[in-house]
A = this chain, B = another copy of it.
Amino acid sequence: MSNEYLFKRVKIKTKTGLEIEGTVLPRYALFSNEYLTIKLDNGYNIGIKKDNIVHIEEVERPPKREVVIYKLDEEAATKSSKTTKIILTGGTIASKIDYETGGVTPILTASELLEAIPELREITDIELESPMSIFSEEMTPHEWKRIAEIVAKELLSNPDRGLIIAHGTDTMGYTSAALSFALQNLPSPVALVGAQRSSDRPSSDSAFNLLAAALYATSNIGEVSVVMHGTISDTYALAHRGTRVRKMHTSRRDAFQSINSLPIAKILPYEKKIVLLRKDIKETKQEGFEAKTNFSDKVALIKFYPGMSGDVIDFLVDKGYRGIVIEGTGLGHVSLRLLNSIKRAVEQEAIVTMTSQCIFGTINMNVYSTGRKLLEAGVLPSADMLPETAFVKLSWLLGNYNDIDVVKKLYVTNLVGEIEYRRTISAFPRWYHGE
Contacts and interface: CB of A to CB of B under 8 A. Distances in A.
Please classify how large the interface on chain A is, using the bins under 10, 10 to 19, 20 to 34, 35 or more: 35 or more
Contacts of A336: 138
A137 B46 CA distance: 32
Interface stretch (A153-161, A283-291, A340-348, A368-376): A368-376
Interface string A395-428: 1000000000000000000000000000001111
A432 B433 contact: no
Interface stretch (A98-106, A111-119, A121-129): A98-106
A99 B181 CA distance: 41
A304 B170 CA distance: 11
A264 to B, nearest CB: 10
Interface in A315-370: 315-316, 319, 327-337, 356-364, 366-370
Contacts of A144: 306
Nearest to A17: B202
A209 to B, nearest CB: 14
Contact of A315 (B236, B312, B370, B395): B312
Contacts of A203: 16-18
Nearest to A257: B431
SS of A interface (majority): loop
A434 interface: yes
A81 interface: no
A137 B358 contact: no
B358 A250 contact: yes
A31 B235 contact: yes
A314 to B, nearest CB: 10
Number of copies: 2
A61 to B, nearest CB: 16
A137 B230 contact: no
A363 B258 CA distance: 22
A432 B42 contact: yes
Contact of A232 (B105, B174, B395, B425): B425
A132 to B, nearest CB: 14
Interface string A47-83: 1110010000000000001000000000000000000
Given A43-B432, A370-B135, A303 B327 contact: yes
Contact of A426 (B233, B255, B432): B432
Interface stretch (A1-9, A183-191, A211-219, A267-275): A267-275
A231 B44 CA distance: 9
B171 A329 contact: yes
A297 interface: yes
Contacts of A395: 307
Contacts of A335: 137-138, 140
B268 A31 contact: yes
A430 B433 contact: no
Considering the complex of A and B, which 8 residue pairs feature the smallest CB-CB distances, nearest first?
A250-B361, A170-B329, A429-B429, A47-B235, A140-B307, A277-B434, A170-B330, A46-B233
Interface of A: 15-18, 30-32, 34-35, 42-44, 46-49, 52, 65, 98, 101-105, 135-144, 169-171, 174-175, 202-203, 230-236, 238, 247-252, 254-255, 257-258, 262-263, 266, 268, 270-271, 275, 277, 297, 300-308, 311-312, 315-316, 319, 327-337, 356-364, 366-370, 372, 388, 391, 395, 425-435
6 contacts: A43-B430, A46-B231, A47-B235, A255-B361, A275-B434, A429-B431
